[in-house]
Structure 1
Amino acid sequence: MPLRVLPTDIDLLRHLNNGRYLSLFDLGRWDLLTRTGLAGAMASHGWYAVVAAETITFRRSLELWQRFDLETRLLGHDDRAVYLEHRAVVDGEIYARAIIRARILRRSGGTVPHEELFAAVGRPEGVPDVEPWVHEWAAASALPSTKRPAPSDWS
């Protein structure tokens, strides 16, 4: 997706605010969901996607009015999540990259199994296995499930 840094996107240093990257990357996910037909299938089945974890790394700043491309790709999936990568790219150079762990949930409650998800929209061809470092990142950044306590204790 071609985008441009707007005045509402910048911080006091006149570059794209670090929190704004993740909001713009949401657009990339919606674009991917729409282009693949998943958005329509999700709406008709009462499903929705949530981000369970995300990590972003910055390489260069995007400045006010600068044009950039937002690239989004599916990294793969496991039995509980879908993994995506977003990149902010200028002239073929990566300025920022985010890794996203997302889950597909039912409005009526519970997680949508991937077999059911792919039955509704078809399984994308050429989806690679999730690389081990992605699983390591997901495990290292995980919080306890909502069914277990997660006390805020700094000790």
Structure 2
Amino acid sequence: MNLLWRTLLVLARARRRLRREGALDPNTIGRIRIRVLPTDIDLLRHLNNGRYLSLFDLGRWDLLTRTGLLDAMSRNGWYAVVAAETITFRRSLELGQRFTLETRLLGHDDRAVYLGHRAVVGGEIYASAVIRARILRRTGGTVPHDELFGAVGRPEGLPDIEPWVHEWAAASALPSTRRPAPSDWQ
């Protein structure tokens, strides 16, 4: 439940910053400060590995709001779903520790948008994640990226997605929902 309250707080702050500062360029790195709470830790008293990805959602909400993409998505009946994600840990975040969550749009291909997240303390990366998200219509189907970025202005100068990200996306993909995906552990 506390993540619901944190999400609402992040959304309120992001909307306030959007009104005050205007929309961010989609190439901007979004940064928010987060503290590790007692509800975030595991028995080893550090941030639970599963909680990182939940907290990284907060960075996406902030960036989507501050770039104006969230309003455009709401107006057009679009929503994002995470299709794949991977995370790498370097150091542990401890109870009460503050860190900066950095979020950046890495680029897109014909089917997905890629975002990067970093948990940073004192300029050092503690954890890093890559997210593959699809933008869908509530009425069904995928939103083409030209239409998505046209709603807020196409970002210029997005870097090319590194080859390993495409390889990871292909290697981690499950079959389409229109095809069978039997659980066979051979």
Q: TM-score, normalised by structure 2?
A: 0.82
Alignment RMSD = 0.6
Structure 1 CA distance, aligned partners of 2:175 and 2:93? 35
Structure 2 CA distance, aligned partners of 1:91 and 1:107? 41
- The corresponding residue for 1:70 is 101
Structure 2 CA distance, aligned partners of 1:123 and 1:35? 15
Q: Please, which of 24, 45, 48 is the counterpart of residue 76 of structure 2?
A: 45
What is the deviation of 1:121? 1.1
5 Å matches for 1:84-123? 84-123=115-154
What is the deviation of 1:119? 1.5
- What secondary structure sits across from 2:150 in the alignment? helix
Q: Specify the code of the residue in structure 1 equivalent to 2:50.
A: G
What is the deviation of 1:125? 2.3
- What secondary structure sits across from 1:115 in the alignment? helix
Q: TM-score, normalised by structure 1?
A: 0.98
What is the deviation of 1:34? 0.4
Q: Please, which of 104, 121, 124 is the counterpart of residue 155 of structure 2?
A: 124
- The corresponding residue for 2:3 is none
Structure 2 CA distance, aligned partners of 1:149 and 1:25? 31
Q: Specify the code of the residue in structure 1 equivalent to 2:131.
A: I
Q: Specify the code of the residue in structure 2 equivalent to 1:48.
A: Y
Please list the CA deviations of residues 91-131 of structure 1 after superposition, one character each: whole Å capped at 9, or x if unmatched. Answer: 00000000000000000000000111112111112211111
- What secondary structure sits across from 1:76 in the alignment? strand
Structure 1 CA distance, aligned partners of 2:102 and 2:156? 19
Residue 138 of structure 1 pairs with residue 169 of structure 2: yes
- The corresponding residue for 1:55 is 86
Structure 2 CA distance, aligned partners of 1:47 and 1:81? 14
- What secondary structure sits across from 2:42 in the alignment? coil
Q: Gapped runs of 5+ residues in structure 2?
A: 1-31
Higher helix share: 2
Paired residues, what number? 155
What is the deviation of 1:85? 0.5
Instruction: Please identify, of 118-127 and 89-98, the stretch whose mean Cα deviation from structure 2 is larger.
Output: 118-127
